[in-house]
A and B are shown apart, each in its own frame.
Chain A
Amino acid sequence: MATTTNYGWTTPDDTALVKDGASAIRTLGTSVDTTTKNLNPETTLGDIAYRSSTSNVNTRLGIGGTGTVLTVAGGVPTWATAGGGGLTLISTTTLTGASVTLSSIPQTYNHLQLIVQNWIPVNDNANLRFRFNADSTASRHVSNSMIGDVASSFGSTSAQFSAQQDNGTSQALIVGNVFNYTNTTTWKFYNVHAIGNNSTTTTEANYVTILQGAYNQTTAISSIELFANTGNLTSGTVLLYGVK
Chain B
Amino acid sequence: MTTKPQVKIVNCETGEEIVRDATAAEIAQIKVDADNAAKAKAEAEAKETAKSAILDRIGLTADELKTILG
Contacts and interface: CB of A to CB of B under 8 A. Distances in A.
Interface string B12-31: 11110101001000100110
28 contacts: A90-B12, A91-B12, A93-B8, A97-B6, A98-B5, A98-B6, A99-B5, A99-B7, A99-B22, A99-B26, A100-B7, A100-B8, A100-B10, A101-B7, A101-B8, A103-B9, A103-B12, A104-B14, A106-B13, A127-B37, A129-B33, A157-B33, A158-B36, A227-B30, A227-B33, A229-B36, A230-B38, A232-B5
B50 interface: no
Given A97-B7, A240-B12, 20 more contacts: A91-B12, A97-B5, A98-B5, A98-B6, A98-B22, A98-B26, A99-B5, A99-B8, A99-B26, A99-B30, A100-B7, A100-B10, A103-B11, A103-B12, A104-B11, A106-B12, A157-B33, A157-B36, A229-B33, A229-B37
A91 B11 CA distance: 9
A81 interface: no
A91 B13 CA distance: 9
Given A98-B5, A98-B22, A229-B37, A93 B32 contact: no
Interface string A106-121: 1000000000000000
B46 to A, nearest CB: 17
A11 interface: no
> Contact residue range for chain A?
20 to 34
Contacts of A136: 29, 32
A232 B5 CA distance: 8
Nearest to A230: B37
Interface of B: 5-15, 17, 19, 22, 26, 29-30, 32-34, 36-38, 40
Interface of A: 90-91, 93, 96-106, 127, 129, 136, 156-158, 227, 229-230, 232, 240
Contact of B17 (A93, A158, A230, A240): A93
B39 to A, nearest CB: 11
Contacts of B9: 101, 103
B15 A91 contact: yes
Contacts of B17: 93
Contacts of B34: 229-230
A9 B14 CA distance: 54
A97 B12 contact: no
Contacts of A97: 5-8, 19
A96 B13 contact: no
